[in-house]
Homo-oligomer: A and B are copies of this chain.
Amino acid sequence: MNSNIREKFFEYIVENNLVSDGEGVVVGLSGGPDSVCLLNLLCSLRQDMNLKIAAAHVNHMLRAEDADKDEEYARNLCKKFKVEFFCKRVDINKYSKDKGLSSETAGREVRYAFFDNVMERLNFSKIATAHNSNDQAETVLMRIMRGTGLEGLTGIPVKRDEKYIRPILFMERKDIEGYCKRCGLEPCIDETNNERLYRRNKVRLDILPYMKKNFNDDIITTINRMVLLLQEDNKYIMGQVDKYFIENCVKHKDEVIIYKSAFECDNAIINRIIRRAIKEVGGNKYDVEMKHIKEVISLKNMETNKKIDLPNGIYAQNIYGNIFIRIKVKNNKKKYKELVLAKEDILHKEVCFQNYIFTFEVIAFEENIDFIKNKEIKYFNYDSINGNIIIRQRKEGDKIIPLGMTGSKKIKDIFINMKIPQEDREFIPIIQFGEDIAWIVPIKLSDKYKITDETKNILKIVVRRR
């Protein structure tokens, strides 16, 4: 019987590629039946797979002497199995109060941090926890009751981040207990498991037994089988989402652009792309509800510049049919900024404005002067400048006579033609000489200050991003 279980355990490890030959595994060992069974089973493979095994125990200091007895049991078991034992004591009640967490969440946080720590100290590569198929069924039912989608229905993964593994996720609690008994192990029993304080215990003690009695004697296996199918469906859909996200979205700092092409995808895909975009700019995807997703989808068909608010200080904006998901900038950005410099004061210094650094140089015109032509270096007729040199943000009504033209053009129209998002426009510096705009940096020059044969002194302006 136990050799049968050991065989299945080995097959499960191989099938799911949980541990490789020679790897080091930290086992989370509470001292209860699950983790004791897990440690025993892993030790049964130790020689054949050349494994390094250590155990990590957290004493939660919750049930006074009981907790100490559990620690003692775990320590002795490791001695017996010749497994290095690591222990940490944390007053979980205090910790959870300090951090404002439920004691369940606090316990999990502390345990995983400690397991990670032990793994790193030992230079191991895996952390094995003892979730079983009852835990799986309970988790999925709890999620259904709380509200979930396909991803939530995939429950506890057998492996996460190539680090956390659940090698006995295929075993039912009753088989684990039988295994321990037949091995003569006497794991600790946590009496609080039989109290209905935690929601999980209500699933364990009331809902699942009712289902088992009235509907399906094999309810745990049945739910676990469903989970395995849904894991494959979810994996497939997420793969497709990855693909479409790469093809149809661009991620910048603080912003994801969902191009209009993405909205041709099926609902199942575009919904997840929107969710992902919000997550990528720093939102919590669990705060995103279906109604937000639907709002973003209808935003796509509204006029350009239209915005909608999303949770966590994020908003979505339609910019020429593409959807920009962005973090709201605090309101102080609204203040108009300008720098006024006397024509004589500018030479040979660096002038910072917003994200740019400007340097100014006056050079005498010569026949064979070598003008460098690029976006960052521009040349102007210095002598025709009357008044101050002003570096500033755009203002309503700004106009320029573009190079090569005679009439003036609204800068707003230039921005619209170039499809520069409204949000970006205030970050484009305008260089003004006296009353005239000379340069929309770095996109458009004025005709008024161009170099001609009559030019004597040239103002060279170099701009770079800081």
Contact = CB atoms under 8 A, between A and B. Distances in A.
The interface size bin for chain A is 35 or more
A147 interface: yes
Contacts of A144: 144, 222-223, 226
Interface string A108-151: 00000000000000000000000000000000001011111110
B214 A290 contact: no
Interface string A201-236: 010001100110011100100110110111011011
B271 A147 contact: no
A147 B290 contact: no
Instruction: Tell me what chain A mostly uses at the interface: helix, strand, loop, or mixed.
Output: helix
A338 to B, nearest CB: 51
Contact of A266 (B145, B206, B235): B235
Nearest to A268: B236
The quantity of this chain's copies bound in the complex is 2
B229 A214 contact: no
Contacts of A153: 153
Nearest to A145: B215
B199 A214 contact: yes
B214 A202 contact: yes
A233 B145 contact: no
Contacts of A232: 266-268, 271
A29 interface: no
Contact of A236 (B148, B225, B237): B237
A434 interface: no
A269 interface: yes
Nearest to A221: B147
Interface in A29-82: none
A239 interface: yes
Contacts of A225: 147, 290
Contacts of A211: 145, 207
12 contacts: A144-B222, A146-B222, A147-B226, A149-B233, A199-B214, A202-B215, A232-B266, A232-B268, A232-B271, A235-B268, A237-B268, A239-B266
Query: Across chains A and B, which 8 residue pairs bring their CB atoms closest together, nearest first?
Result: A236-B268, A145-B215, A147-B222, A149-B229, A236-B266, A232-B267, A232-B268, A233-B268
